[in-house]
Chains A and B, each alone.
Chain A
Amino acid sequence: MFPMRLFLLFFLVGIFLLLLQSTLFHLLPIGPVVPDLILVLCVYLGLYHPSVGAALGSFLLGYSIDIVSSPILGLNAFAMSLVFLSVYLSSRAIWIQNPIVTSLVVLLAALVKGAALVLVWAIFLSVEGFWIGAARYIIMEALVAAVLAPMVFALLRRGQDYVERLRAPAQ
């Protein structure tokens, strides 16, 4: 089960990341790609908080991106839910302790998300020739997310430790 304080922490982090992705990150000089830190958050939830609340949280994070950016609701909600499920299932087989493996898992999760978006896009939006340029975006997005993942994981872990320390005296 997801403790209330942790839920609040991840909710606020999600809103903050959504805000960054839609405004300040557009100033970063890394071409047309905006770092997808919400994806990294979903991977973190899948690895370290495998619970019903986290699954719902991943869905809501994707849905929030849809609300702010997507021309059609449900696209990112689907992709983030799939990312969570993939990471949850694969987390039983891998043990993540160092930044390189973290980056690798986020890289693979970003590729899963990209593939899911292309697939769903093709089915529901049927934009002619859309997939031709998609590969470039998928790879760039995955690389940027993988590079930033260890730092985001470290920050999330610190935040989580802080919240748990706050909780400990109360218990």
Chain B
Amino acid sequence: MFAFLHRNQVPLSSFCCLLLSLYILAAAARGQIRDEPLSAFLMWVMRPLQIASQGTANWLKGFQENYDTLAGFKSENEKLRKRIQALEIERQKLLEAAATNRQLKELLDFRGSLSGTPVIASIIANSASNWFQSCVLDKGSSDGIRKGMGVVTPLGVVGQVVSVTARTAKVLLLTDPNSGIDVLVQRTRSRGIVSGSLETGTILKYVKRSEDIQEGDRLITSGTDGVFPKGMIVGTVIKVRKQHLGLFQFVEVLPAVQSARVEEVLVVAGDSDGTKN
């Protein structure tokens, strides 16, 4: 017996890991895992690294955009080009500072228009997996962020907080297939659920065939889910298709906020209890 266990220790331990994963999954799916210590520790370790790495990524992004603008010029005068490049990098830094200031001012103005006390946070990491559309914020429960709160910008809805540690929060983006936001069509007041989809991007679900939906219609939060305040822009309808069969029509949506371009966000509680999922 012992010899068998010793001989097969690797597959057996691997199999135990599989079983443990399934156990964790089942417990997480039932919502039984809260305040898991390993998550808090890893996020504590990762937070400063992610902030530094994301800072580098933002700098590289700015540098790349900057470089693209320079690429149009001919490189006959190398010295002059290098001079321009150096100046552009300097200018980029100043523009970046100005843009950050502008964004923060807009966020502060927007914050004033919301009820409650919204929290301003920065995105410090994106999803490490291709299967999930998520990001990590640099604020957590110690800053007043709770699971279930909405995440927005002045342009519209970004997503929803799905887990928090003391100093970080994980946000499930609007474009994730697991997300679901209760919305109204602004023109007709028809209701539906906006969700992500791996196949077609963001879609509006459960809209009856008889409902009048047109391309260009704006979608706003209904405020009934307790996550987002009523009237925030979620996106715009870009394609409507009615199948020959079926109760519902297919509606494709362009999100109001392109999450890849967002750096600062506001975390808000809905009109009712914000912890409601």
Residues of A that sit less than 8 Å from B by CB: 15, 18-24, 26-27, 32-34, 36, 38, 50-52, 54-56, 58-59, 62-65, 67-78, 81-82, 84-85, 88-89, 117, 120-121, 124-125, 127-130, 132-134, 136-137, 140-141
Q: What distance in Å separates the Cβ of B29 from its nearest Cβ neighbour in chain A?
A: 5
A24 adjacent to B56 (CB under 8 Å): yes
Interface string of B102-127 (1 = CB under 8 A from A): 00000000000000000000000111
Known: A51-B10, A78-B21, A84-B14. A67 touches B198 (CB 8 A): no
Residue of A nearest to B40 (CB): A67
Interchain pairs with CB closer than 8 A, number: 173
CB<8 Å pairs between A and B, sample of 25: A15-B45, A15-B46, A19-B53, A22-B50, A23-B56, A24-B60, A26-B126, A27-B60, A55-B10, A59-B20, A64-B42, A65-B128, A68-B42, A68-B136, A74-B22, A74-B28, A77-B17, A78-B21, A81-B17, A85-B14, A120-B22, A120-B25, A129-B197, A136-B199, A141-B130
Interface residue? B69 (CB, 8 A): no
C-alpha gap A133/B136 in the complex (Å): 25
Interface residue? B43 (CB, 8 A): yes
Chain B residues near A74: list those with CB within 8 A: 21-28
Interface string of B182-210 (1 = CB under 8 A from A): 00000000000000011110000100000
Known: A88-B10, A88-B11. A69 touches B54 (CB 8 A): no
- Interface size for B (C-beta < 8 A) is 57
Q: What distance in Å separates the Cβ of A137 from its nearest Cβ neighbour in chain B?
A: 5
Interface string of B36-63 (1 = CB under 8 A from A): 1011001101100110011011001100
Interface residue? B177 (CB, 8 A): yes
A133 adjacent to B199 (CB under 8 Å): yes
Interface of A is mostly: helix
Q: What distance in Å separates the Cβ of B48 from its nearest Cβ neighbour in chain A?
A: 11
Interface residue? B142 (CB, 8 A): no
A67 adjacent to B38 (CB under 8 Å): yes
B21 adjacent to A77 (CB under 8 Å): yes
B197 adjacent to A34 (CB under 8 Å): no
C-alpha gap A133/B201 in the complex (Å): 10
C-alpha gap A140/B57 in the complex (Å): 23
A75 adjacent to B130 (CB under 8 Å): no
Interface residue? B151 (CB, 8 A): no
Of A36, A51, A52, the most chain B CB neighbours within 10 A belong to: A52
Residue of B nearest to A75 (CB): B25
C-alpha gap A36/B178 in the complex (Å): 21
C-alpha gap A120/B19 in the complex (Å): 12
Residue of B nearest to A57 (CB): B17
C-alpha gap A51/B8 in the complex (Å): 10
Known: A27-B60, A59-B21. A72 touches B176 (CB 8 A): no
B126 adjacent to A71 (CB under 8 Å): no
Chain B residues near A27: list those with CB within 8 A: 57, 60-61, 64
Of B13, B131, B198, the most chain A CB neighbours within 10 A belong to: B131
Q: What distance in Å separates the Cβ of A148 from its nearest Cβ neighbour in chain B?
A: 14
A70 adjacent to B129 (CB under 8 Å): yes
Residue of B nearest to A29 (CB): B64
Interface residue? B221 (CB, 8 A): no
C-alpha gap A92/B26 in the complex (Å): 32
C-alpha gap A43/B221 in the complex (Å): 44
C-alpha gap A55/B158 in the complex (Å): 37
Interface residue? B172 (CB, 8 A): yes
